[in-house]
């Protein structure tokens, strides 16, 4: 059975392998021993912390095959971004150049550096190993975070974002960054991406253009990359869009990938989730749900067949599922559609 749980210190070797496999452009998992161990430690502290309002917490989950004990992927939630380090985006906007006397009216697209998403929550670090991209594994790893948001709302902002990986080549180069590098930086895309991943962001403030960038001045390749996602990211974007996430014109400062956002209360899986009491018994339906436990320190989530009894606020699950979730009869769980 595939189960999502909080990361532990002994998951480090698997996390390192995932960081290597994820490749260029996956900023949140830099291939750096100290930083990865720090992420694990921070996550363990966040799960153990008593929280009344979101702060500098980060919750890192792993997908584990309970039969083989193999860690197959990761996903994470940041409680409030930009509180310790500045959180940069470009916002795609417009300016109008007009002259009534000359009969000229022209609308021009511009990119403006901003910190507009400071203190919002973030979905991040979603990566499923290629050999495990089957059945409902990807949906479980991504959507279980909505159950976590619904169950522990005091730990998060009322607005949540997700940065989508933008266009990059197999050698790690980004058409958008290549233009910025040529005109403002002497740092290639993999290096800039890595420095951001390990928290060294001061070069952004020092070297980024301080004024809006006219999109028409960019190379044709850079213009075409704005708001586009990496080929491997398209399924993740489609899933978020089906949940109600939408782009508001914000893009990543390195690869120009889109950032999508939603209010937590408007996310479909949050709206449709139910908090039910466990009944352990025989399950006769073939309807599959996402289900999670409601204990923060021993959180577990999986997808399985179960029976929902809304009038009695009960969910009937098998003994195997109860064991995987570490729940017993009478405990509370949260469920939503897969």
Alpha carbon distance 234, 302 (integer Å): 23
Give the domain CATH number at 289: 2.40.40.20
Which has the minimum average pLDDT: 98-102, 203-207, 262-266? 203-207
Query: pLDDT value at position 199?
Result: 60
Residue 75 pLDDT level (bands cut at 50, 70, 90): very high
In a domain, 27, yes or no: yes
Q: Would you tell me how many other CB atoms lie within 10 Å of the CB of residue 120?
A: 20
Q: Phi and psi of 149, rounded to 5°? A: -60, -40
> Is 119 found in the same domain as 26?
yes
Please check the confidence at residue 6 and state whether its pLDDT lies above 70. Answer: yes
Query: pLDDT value at position 197?
Result: 60
Give the domain CATH number at 161: 3.40.630.30
Please check the confidence at residue 195 and state whether its pLDDT lies above 70. Answer: no
Query: pLDDT value at position 198?
Result: 56
Own/partner pairs, 67-70, CB within 8 angstroms, 24+ separation = 67/1, 70/14
In a domain, 110, yes or no: no
Which has the minimum average pLDDT: 104-113, 179-188, 223-232, 255-264? 179-188
Task: Using DSSP bridges, classify how beta strands 159-163 and 121-128 pair: parallel, antiparallel or unpaired.
Answer: parallel
Residue 135 pLDDT level (bands cut at 50, 70, 90): confident
> Is 217 found in the same domain as 290?
no
In a domain, 98, yes or no: no
Please check the confidence at residue 202 and state whether its pLDDT lies above 70. Answer: no
Q: Mean pLDDT across the chain, nearest whole number?
A: 90
269, 293, 328: which is the final residue of a domain? 269
216, 236, 269: which is the final residue of a domain? 269
Where does residue 185 rank: exposed (0-12), middle (13-18), buried (19+ CB within 10 A)?
A: middle
Concerning whether 24 is annotated as a catalytic residue, the answer is no
Query: pLDDT value at position 97?
Result: 86
pLDDT > 90 in the chain, percent: 67
In a domain, 102, yes or no: no
Alpha carbon distance 209, 67 (integer Å): 52
269, 285, 300: which is the final residue of a domain? 269
> Is 234 found in the same domain as 145?
yes
> Is 329 found in the same domain as 258?
no
> Is 125 found in the same domain as 47?
yes
Catalytic one of 91, 230, 232, 266: 230
Residue 99: strand pairing partners: 104
Residue 179 pLDDT level (bands cut at 50, 70, 90): confident
For residue 146, CA distances in Å to 53, 243, 333 come to: 18, 10, 14
pLDDT per residue as tens digits for the range 250-264: 999 888 999 999 999
> Is 276 found in the same domain as 247?
no
Query: pLDDT value at position 141?
Result: 94
Domain that holds residue 295: 272-337
> Is 278 found in the same domain as 221?
no
In a domain, 214, yes or no: yes
Residue 100 pLDDT level (bands cut at 50, 70, 90): confident
> Is 158 found in the same domain as 65?
yes
> Is 213 found in the same domain as 77?
yes
Q: How many domains are contained in the chain?
A: 2
Which has the minimum average pLDDT: 135-149, 159-173, 289-303? 159-173
> Is 37 found in the same domain as 125?
yes
């Amino acid at each position: 059975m595939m189960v999502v749980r909080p990361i532990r210190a002994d998951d480090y070797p698997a996390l390192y392998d995932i960081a290597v496999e994820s490749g260029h452009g996956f900023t949140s998992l830099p291939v750096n021993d100290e930083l990865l161990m720090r992420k694990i430690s921070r996550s363990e502290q966040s799960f153990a912390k008593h929280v009344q309002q979101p702060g500098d917490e980060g919750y890192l989950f792993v997908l584990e095959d309970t039969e083989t004990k193999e860690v197959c992927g990761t996903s994470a939630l940041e409680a409030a971004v930009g509180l310790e380090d500045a959180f940069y985006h470009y916002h795609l906007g417009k300016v109008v150049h007009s002259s009534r006397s000359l009969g000229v009216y022209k609308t021009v697209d511009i990119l403006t550096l901003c910190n507009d998403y400071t203190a919002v929550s973030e979905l991040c670090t979603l990566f499923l190993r290629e050999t495990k991209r089957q059945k409902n594994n990807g949906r479980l790893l991504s959507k279980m975070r909505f159950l976590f948001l619904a169950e522990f709302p005091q730990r998060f902002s009322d607005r949540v974002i997700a940065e989508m990986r933008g266009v990059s080549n197999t050698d790690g180069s980004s058409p958008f960054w290549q233009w910025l590098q040529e005109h403002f930086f002497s740092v290639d895309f993999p290096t800039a991406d890595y420095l951001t991943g390990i928290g060294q962001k001061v070069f952004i403030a020092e070297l980024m253009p301080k004024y809006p960038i006219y999109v028409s001045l960019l190379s044709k390749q850079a213009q075409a990359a704005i708001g586009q996602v990496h080929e491997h990211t398209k399924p993740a974007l489609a899933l978020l869009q089906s949940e109600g996430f939408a782009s508001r014109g914000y893009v990543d400062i390195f690869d120009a990938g889109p950032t999508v956002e939603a209010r937590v209360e408007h996310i479909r899986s949050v709206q449709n989730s139910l908090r039910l009491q466990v009944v352990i018994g025989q399950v006769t339906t073939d309807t599959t749900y996402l289900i999670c436990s409601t204990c923060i320190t021993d959180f577990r989530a999986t997808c399985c067949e179960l029976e929902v009894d809304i009038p009695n606020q009960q969910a009937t699950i098998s003994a195997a599922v109860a064991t995987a979730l570490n729940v017993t009869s009478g405990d509370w769980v949260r469920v939503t559609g897969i």
